[in-house]
Amino acid sequence: MILAILQARLSSSRLPGKVLLPLAGAPMLLRQIERVARAQRIDQIVVATSIEPSDDRLAQAVEAAGLAVHRGPLDNVLARFIGALEAWPADHVVRLTGDCPLIDPGVIDQTIALHLAKAADYTHNRYDPSGYPKGQDVEVISADALQRTAREDHGPEAREHVTWAVRNAPSRYRIARLDPSVDEGEVRWTVDTADDYEFVRQIYDGLYPANAAFSSDDVRSLVRARPELVTFGGERRL
Protein backbone atom coordinates (compact mmCIF):
# COMPACT_ATOMS: atom_id res chain seq x y z
CA MET A 1 0.00 0.00 0.00
CA ILE A 2 1.49 3.33 -1.12
CA LEU A 3 0.01 6.48 0.42
CA ALA A 4 0.79 9.90 -1.10
CA ILE A 5 0.51 12.72 1.43
CA LEU A 6 0.49 16.18 -0.08
CA GLN A 7 1.13 18.90 2.50
CA ALA A 8 -0.45 22.30 1.91
CA ARG A 9 -1.53 25.44 3.74
CA LEU A 10 -2.81 28.90 2.83
CA SER A 11 -0.53 30.87 5.17
CA SER A 12 2.56 30.82 2.95
CA SER A 13 4.68 33.85 3.86
CA ARG A 14 5.96 34.67 0.37
CA LEU A 15 2.79 34.02 -1.63
CA PRO A 16 -0.21 33.63 0.69
CA GLY A 17 -3.01 31.45 -0.65
CA LYS A 18 -0.86 30.20 -3.51
CA VAL A 19 -2.21 26.64 -3.53
CA LEU A 20 -5.66 27.93 -4.51
CA LEU A 21 -4.46 30.31 -7.23
CA PRO A 22 -6.05 29.38 -10.57
CA LEU A 23 -4.33 27.30 -13.22
CA ALA A 24 -6.31 26.50 -16.35
CA GLY A 25 -9.57 27.22 -14.55
CA ALA A 26 -9.01 25.26 -11.32
CA PRO A 27 -7.04 25.74 -8.09
CA MET A 28 -3.34 25.01 -8.44
CA LEU A 29 -3.52 22.29 -5.77
CA LEU A 30 -6.19 20.39 -7.71
CA ARG A 31 -4.19 20.65 -10.93
CA GLN A 32 -1.21 19.17 -9.08
CA ILE A 33 -3.35 16.34 -7.72
CA GLU A 34 -4.50 15.57 -11.28
CA ARG A 35 -0.88 14.94 -12.15
CA VAL A 36 -0.10 12.95 -9.00
CA ALA A 37 -3.12 10.74 -9.67
CA ARG A 38 -1.53 9.62 -12.97
CA ALA A 39 1.25 7.88 -11.07
CA GLN A 40 0.62 4.16 -11.40
CA ARG A 41 2.12 3.11 -8.06
CA ILE A 42 0.11 5.36 -5.74
CA ASP A 43 -2.93 3.77 -4.08
CA GLN A 44 -4.30 6.73 -2.11
CA ILE A 45 -3.79 10.52 -2.11
CA VAL A 46 -4.43 12.59 1.02
CA VAL A 47 -4.02 16.34 1.47
CA ALA A 48 -2.58 17.16 4.89
CA THR A 49 -3.41 20.68 6.03
CA SER A 50 -3.79 22.41 9.36
CA ILE A 51 -6.67 22.70 11.80
CA GLU A 52 -6.38 26.49 11.71
CA PRO A 53 -9.42 28.46 10.43
CA SER A 54 -7.11 29.97 7.82
CA ASP A 55 -7.05 26.57 6.10
CA ASP A 56 -10.81 25.96 6.16
CA ARG A 57 -11.16 27.22 2.59
CA LEU A 58 -8.41 24.86 1.41
CA ALA A 59 -9.98 21.83 3.11
CA GLN A 60 -13.38 22.72 1.66
CA ALA A 61 -11.99 22.99 -1.87
CA VAL A 62 -10.30 19.59 -1.61
CA GLU A 63 -13.34 17.88 -0.10
CA ALA A 64 -15.63 19.46 -2.71
CA ALA A 65 -13.47 17.77 -5.34
CA GLY A 66 -14.12 14.41 -3.66
CA LEU A 67 -10.58 14.09 -2.30
CA ALA A 68 -9.32 13.01 1.11
CA VAL A 69 -8.16 15.55 3.71
CA HIS A 70 -6.41 15.16 7.04
CA ARG A 71 -6.04 18.14 9.35
CA GLY A 72 -3.49 18.52 12.13
CA PRO A 73 -1.17 21.04 13.82
CA LEU A 74 -0.04 23.96 11.68
CA ASP A 75 3.47 23.99 13.14
CA ASN A 76 4.03 20.22 13.28
CA VAL A 77 3.85 18.83 9.76
CA LEU A 78 5.32 15.52 10.92
CA ALA A 79 2.34 15.07 13.26
CA ARG A 80 0.03 15.71 10.32
CA PHE A 81 1.75 12.96 8.36
CA ILE A 82 1.48 10.53 11.26
CA GLY A 83 -2.20 11.37 11.63
CA ALA A 84 -2.82 10.80 7.92
CA LEU A 85 -0.93 7.50 8.06
CA GLU A 86 -3.04 6.37 11.02
CA ALA A 87 -6.23 7.25 9.14
CA TRP A 88 -5.07 5.62 5.88
CA PRO A 89 -2.66 2.81 6.89
CA ALA A 90 0.06 2.10 4.34
CA ASP A 91 3.43 0.41 3.98
CA HIS A 92 5.14 3.43 2.42
CA VAL A 93 4.41 7.15 2.22
CA VAL A 94 5.18 9.48 -0.68
CA ARG A 95 5.78 13.00 0.61
CA LEU A 96 4.81 15.84 -1.73
CA THR A 97 4.34 19.58 -1.21
CA GLY A 98 1.41 21.55 -2.59
CA ASP A 99 3.46 24.08 -4.54
CA CYS A 100 4.58 21.74 -7.34
CA PRO A 101 1.97 21.84 -10.13
CA LEU A 102 4.55 20.57 -12.66
CA ILE A 103 5.19 17.37 -10.71
CA ASP A 104 5.95 14.43 -13.00
CA PRO A 105 3.93 11.23 -12.38
CA GLY A 106 6.58 9.18 -14.16
CA VAL A 107 9.26 10.47 -11.79
CA ILE A 108 7.02 9.65 -8.84
CA ASP A 109 6.72 6.07 -10.11
CA GLN A 110 10.46 5.79 -10.73
CA THR A 111 11.24 7.01 -7.21
CA ILE A 112 8.81 4.51 -5.68
CA ALA A 113 10.22 1.71 -7.84
CA LEU A 114 13.78 2.45 -6.71
CA HIS A 115 12.66 2.66 -3.09
CA LEU A 116 11.06 -0.77 -3.27
CA ALA A 117 13.90 -2.35 -5.27
CA LYS A 118 16.49 -1.15 -2.77
CA ALA A 119 14.34 -2.04 0.25
CA ALA A 120 15.15 1.50 1.40
CA ASP A 121 13.83 3.32 4.44
CA TYR A 122 13.94 6.60 2.54
CA THR A 123 14.37 7.52 -1.13
CA HIS A 124 14.57 10.95 -2.72
CA ASN A 125 15.30 12.52 -6.10
CA ARG A 126 17.05 15.80 -5.33
CA TYR A 127 19.52 17.18 -2.85
CA ASP A 128 19.96 20.92 -3.29
CA PRO A 129 21.31 22.03 -5.63
CA SER A 130 21.37 18.84 -7.70
CA GLY A 131 18.89 16.31 -9.04
CA TYR A 132 15.52 16.83 -10.67
CA PRO A 133 14.07 20.35 -11.08
CA LYS A 134 12.92 22.09 -7.92
CA GLY A 135 9.20 21.47 -8.12
CA GLN A 136 9.56 17.82 -9.07
CA ASP A 137 10.70 16.79 -5.60
CA VAL A 138 9.63 13.30 -4.57
CA GLU A 139 10.38 11.62 -1.25
CA VAL A 140 9.35 8.08 -0.31
CA ILE A 141 9.63 6.84 3.25
CA SER A 142 8.61 3.54 4.78
CA ALA A 143 5.84 3.70 7.34
CA ASP A 144 8.21 2.20 9.90
CA ALA A 145 10.82 4.91 9.32
CA LEU A 146 8.20 7.67 9.45
CA GLN A 147 6.82 6.36 12.73
CA ARG A 148 10.35 5.95 14.12
CA THR A 149 11.34 9.52 13.39
CA ALA A 150 8.10 10.74 14.99
CA ARG A 151 8.99 8.80 18.16
CA GLU A 152 12.67 9.67 18.30
CA ASP A 153 13.25 13.05 16.61
CA HIS A 154 11.62 16.03 18.28
CA GLY A 155 13.59 18.99 16.98
CA PRO A 156 11.99 21.83 15.00
CA GLU A 157 13.55 20.66 11.72
CA ALA A 158 12.00 17.20 12.08
CA ARG A 159 8.58 18.64 12.88
CA GLU A 160 8.63 21.08 9.97
CA HIS A 161 10.41 19.09 7.26
CA VAL A 162 9.07 15.58 8.10
CA THR A 163 11.95 13.56 6.60
CA TRP A 164 14.78 15.84 7.74
CA ALA A 165 16.07 13.58 10.52
CA VAL A 166 15.89 10.48 8.31
CA ARG A 167 17.72 11.90 5.31
CA ASN A 168 20.44 13.25 7.56
CA ALA A 169 21.06 9.95 9.34
CA PRO A 170 22.50 7.48 6.80
CA SER A 171 23.95 5.42 9.63
CA ARG A 172 20.46 4.83 11.05
CA TYR A 173 18.43 4.44 7.85
CA ARG A 174 18.86 2.83 4.43
CA ILE A 175 18.79 5.76 1.97
CA ALA A 176 18.49 5.64 -1.82
CA ARG A 177 18.51 8.41 -4.41
CA LEU A 178 17.06 8.59 -7.91
CA ASP A 179 19.35 10.65 -10.15
CA PRO A 180 18.21 12.18 -13.45
CA SER A 181 20.08 11.52 -16.67
CA VAL A 182 20.85 15.28 -16.82
CA ASP A 183 21.25 17.31 -13.64
CA GLU A 184 18.50 19.97 -13.51
CA GLY A 185 18.76 20.77 -9.83
CA GLU A 186 19.05 24.50 -10.45
CA VAL A 187 15.94 24.58 -12.68
CA ARG A 188 13.03 26.17 -10.83
CA TRP A 189 9.51 24.83 -11.47
CA THR A 190 8.11 25.24 -7.96
CA VAL A 191 5.77 28.07 -6.91
CA ASP A 192 7.03 30.22 -4.04
CA THR A 193 6.79 33.70 -5.55
CA ALA A 194 4.55 35.71 -7.87
CA ASP A 195 7.08 35.21 -10.68
CA ASP A 196 7.06 31.44 -10.12
CA TYR A 197 3.26 31.43 -10.33
CA GLU A 198 3.25 33.52 -13.51
CA PHE A 199 5.76 31.16 -15.11
CA VAL A 200 3.67 28.10 -14.27
CA ARG A 201 0.47 29.86 -15.33
CA GLN A 202 1.97 30.49 -18.77
CA ILE A 203 3.01 26.83 -19.00
CA TYR A 204 -0.52 25.70 -18.22
CA ASP A 205 -2.08 28.23 -20.59
CA GLY A 206 0.25 27.05 -23.33
CA LEU A 207 -0.10 23.29 -22.82
CA TYR A 208 -3.13 22.27 -20.78
CA PRO A 209 -5.93 23.10 -23.25
CA ALA A 210 -4.50 20.76 -25.90
CA ASN A 211 -3.20 18.07 -23.54
CA ALA A 212 -4.10 18.00 -19.85
CA ALA A 213 -1.52 15.24 -19.34
CA PHE A 214 1.38 17.26 -20.76
CA SER A 215 4.82 15.90 -19.93
CA SER A 216 8.00 17.41 -18.55
CA ASP A 217 9.45 17.25 -22.05
CA ASP A 218 6.45 19.27 -23.25
CA VAL A 219 7.32 21.91 -20.64
CA ARG A 220 10.94 21.99 -21.80
CA SER A 221 9.88 22.29 -25.45
CA LEU A 222 7.54 25.19 -24.69
CA VAL A 223 10.21 27.04 -22.71
CA ARG A 224 12.75 26.55 -25.52
CA ALA A 225 10.24 27.93 -28.02
CA ARG A 226 9.64 31.02 -25.88
CA PRO A 227 13.01 32.57 -24.96
CA GLU A 228 11.38 35.01 -22.53
CA LEU A 229 10.54 32.06 -20.29
CA VAL A 230 14.06 30.58 -20.11
CA THR A 231 15.12 32.84 -17.23
CA PHE A 232 11.67 34.15 -16.28
CA GLY A 233 11.79 36.19 -13.07
CA GLY A 234 15.56 35.91 -13.01
CA GLU A 235 15.46 32.16 -12.38
CA ARG A 236 16.66 29.25 -14.47
CA ARG A 237 13.58 27.54 -15.97
CA LEU A 238 15.32 25.21 -18.43
| Per-residue model confidence (pLDDT) at position 128 | 83
- Kindly tell me if the per-residue pLDDT of 87 is higher than 90: yes
Share of the chain above pLDDT 70, in %: 100
Mean pLDDT of 213-230: 98
Q: Which pLDDT tens digit goes with each residue over 31-86?
A: 999 999 999 999 999 999 999 999 999 999 999 999 999 999 999 999 999 999 99
Band of residue 133 on the pLDDT scale cut at 50, 70, 90: very high
Domain residue spans in the chain? 2-186
Check pLDDT > 90 for residue 5: yes
- Alpha-carbon distance 229 to 130, whole Å? 21
For residues 100-119, give the mean pLDDT.
Answer: 98
**Cα–Cα distance for residue pair 5/131, rounded to 1 Å:** 21
For residue 165, count other CB atoms closer than 10 A to its CB: 22
Q: What single DSSP character describes residue 48?
A: E
Name which of 111, 109, 133 is nearest 188 in CA terms.
Answer: 133
- Residue 120's nearest CA partner among 166, 154, 67, 64 is 166
152-208 pLDDT, tens digit each: 998 999 999 999 999 999 999 999 999 999 999 999 999 999 999 999 999 999 999
Q: What is the percent of the chain where pLDDT is above 90? A: 97
Q: Which of 68, 45, 57, 56 lies closest to 21 in space, CA to CA?
A: 57
Q: How far apart are CA 214 and CA 104, in angstroms?
A: 9
CATH superfamily of 2-186: Spore Coat Polysaccharide Biosynthesis Protein SpsA; Chain A (3.90.550.10)
- Residue 140's DSSP bridge partners are 94, 123
